[in-house]
């Protein structure tokens, strides 16, 4: 969670003012945390654990009942929750909320391992420029493509803005309804298909002034889009496949498209099909992979075990200060997933639909228009938007995506 930074600051404040530091609970994670804090010469007052009567002490540190802290004066103690399971973490948070304890003020999640914590600190201190972030992501994207096709190689031009990833949703209809969909597709009201000629025109405008490393055609579910074959045909005619680094279609593995589609898609240079694997929900996965083989199209099946990271709900405003929201945006991994929706580019996969459908307060600051401008105007606007934006207003409704994001089950249905 982004709150890590705030939590550390608060924990150090309490420690430096002679307050008490507690670790909840005294299991493996809690004990590792105690060792780690010891190296930093921080003294732990006690563990808090429901099994305090059985455990009593660990390494000379007493184990006390969780209730111990409830009558203490606020600001004189800080509790670090160190547990392995999300459901236990949730239950403890609920308990603390009932007792008026506030996250980041009185307690926080310290459950992840020391390496992640250090890496997160490095991230927070790194102060990388947006250009560096985009460049690193671009290199990562090429490496990803080489896993699909080891021979693949393309130069990143020096003289253009780089967009590591451009998500292009064709539709907000989907054959699944994932509770934690990062694009918020199940919340589209009502779902709609976008005009393919307009999409092609928008893409052309973008690639005339920038280099897109990975152009991801997606949805919703792109295979429910009625004009998919026509779109791919136009994509080839306009040589978009030759102008971008590579192209992929992202599908959830529930639908097998027509042979006409495969025949057109096969003509694209450096293109493959990315199948998000939702286990038994991806009912047509095997059939789809077989079809790809038959048409000699590369397919990548995402490992079913890869967990998702939640960005949190969009219903409540987080009330970040300006400093906090800028920080969040700078460490958010998702910001390099640029999305094109309705003629607007967003430096985020989550805000576009929320903004367009006004599910959060609409902000014209959060996007860059790609329609109705000259190439030079678009080049300037895009440069300013991609590299000079400090945060998006929509980030107020998000936890961000980073090392501290919570893991959630893949493709859980709403
Ligand atoms: S399959 Fe799930 S995650 Fe993918 S677009 Fe549909 S609802 Fe979203
Ligand atoms: S809303 Fe902001 S913090 Fe959330 S995913 Fe988008 S860029 Fe990241």
For 124-172, how does the pLDDT look when each residue is reduced to its tens digit (9 = 90+)?
445 567 777 788 888 888 887 877 777 777 777 877 888 999 999 999 9
Return the H-helix or E-strand segment holding 28: helix 28-39
3-125, CATH topology level: Rossmann fold (3.40.50)
Strand partners, 64: 48
- Fold agreement between 3-125 and 130-408: no
Burial of 390 (0-12, 13-18, 19+ CB in 10 A): exposed
pLDDT for 126 equals 52
Strand partners, 161: 210
Q: Tell me the best of 350, 355, 359, 365 to mutate to test the pocket of ligand 2, counting ligand atoms within 8 Å of each CB and taking the most.
A: 350
pLDDT for 115 equals 47
pLDDT for 28 equals 87
Low-confidence ranges of the chain (pLDDT < 70): 1-6, 112-128, 305-306, 403-404
> Residue 403 and residue 211: Cα distance in Å, rounded?
28
What residue's CA is closest to ligand 1, atom 8?
Answer: 181
- Bridging pattern class, strands 77-81 and 107-109: parallel
Domain boundaries, the chain: 3-125, 130-408
Token pair belonging to 6 = 């705030």
130-408, CATH topology level: TIM Barrel (3.20.20)
Atom of ligand 2 nearest to the CA of 350: 6
Count of Cβ atoms closer than 10 Å to residue 413 Cβ: 11
Q: Is the CB of 337 under 6 A from ligand 2?
A: no
pLDDT for 391 equals 94
Whole-number Å distance, alpha carbon 220 to ligand 1 midpoint, is 6
pLDDT for 102 equals 87
For the chain, percent of residues with pLDDT exceeding 70: 93
Q: Tell me the best of 398, 399, 402, 403 to mutate to test the pocket of ligand 2, counting ligand atoms within 8 Å of each CB and taking the most.
A: 398
Atom of ligand 1 nearest to the CA of 184: 8
> Residue 101 and residue 93: Cα distance in Å, rounded?
9
- Bridging pattern class, strands 298-301 and 308-309: unpaired
Which pTM was predicted?
0.74
């Amino acid at each position: 969670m982004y709150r890590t930074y705030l939590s550390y600051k608060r924990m150090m404040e309490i420690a430096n003012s002679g307050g008490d530091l507690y670790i909840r609970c005294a299991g493996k994670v809690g004990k590792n945390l105690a060792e780690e804090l010891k190296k930093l010469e921080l003294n732990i007052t006690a563990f808090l654990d429901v099994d305090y009567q059985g455990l009593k002490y660990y390494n000379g540190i007493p184990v006390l009942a969780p209730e111990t802290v409830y009558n203490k004066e606020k600001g004189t103690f800080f509790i670090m929750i160190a547990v392995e399971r999300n459901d236990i973490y949730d239950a403890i948070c609920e308990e603390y909320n009932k007792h008026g304890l506030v996250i980041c003020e009185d307690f926080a999640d310290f459950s992840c391992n020391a390496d992640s914590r250090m890496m997160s600190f490095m991230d927070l201190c790194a102060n990388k420029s947006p250009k560096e972030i985009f460049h690193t992501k671009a290199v990562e994207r090429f490496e990803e493509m080489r896993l699909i096709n080891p021979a693949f190689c393309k130069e990143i031009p020096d003289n253009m803005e780089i967009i590591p990833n451009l998500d292009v949703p064709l539709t907000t209809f989907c054959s699944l309804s994932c509770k934690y969909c990062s694009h918020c597709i199940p919340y589209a009201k009502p779902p709609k298909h976008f005009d393919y000629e307009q999409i092609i025109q928008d893409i052309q405008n973008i690639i005339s002034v920038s280099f897109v490393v990975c152009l991801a055609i997606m949805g919703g579910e792109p295979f429910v889009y009625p004009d998919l074959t026509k779109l791919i045909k136009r994509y080839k005619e306009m040589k978009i496949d030759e102008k971008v680094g590579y192209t992929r279609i992202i599908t959830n593995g529930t639908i097998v498209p027509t042979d006409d589609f495969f025949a057109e898609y096969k003509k694209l240079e450096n293109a493959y099909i990315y199948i998000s694997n939702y286990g038994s929900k991806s009912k047509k996965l095997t059939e789809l992979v077989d079809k790809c083989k038959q048409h000699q199209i590369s397919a990548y099946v995402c490992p079913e075990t890869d967990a998702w990271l939640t960005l949190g709900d969009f219903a409540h405003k987080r009330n970040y200060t300006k400093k906090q929201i800028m920080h969040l945006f700078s460490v958010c991994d998702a910001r390099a997933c640029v999305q094109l929706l309705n003629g607007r580019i967003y430096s985020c996969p989550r805000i576009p639909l929320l903004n367009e459908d006004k599910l959060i307060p609409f902000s014209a600051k959060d996007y860059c228009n790609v329609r109705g401008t000259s190439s030079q105007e678009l080049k300037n606007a895009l440069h300013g938007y991609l590299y000079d934006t400090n945060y998006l207003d929509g980030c107020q409704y998000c936890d961000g995506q980073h090392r501290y994001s919570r893991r959630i089950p893949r493709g859980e249905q709403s």
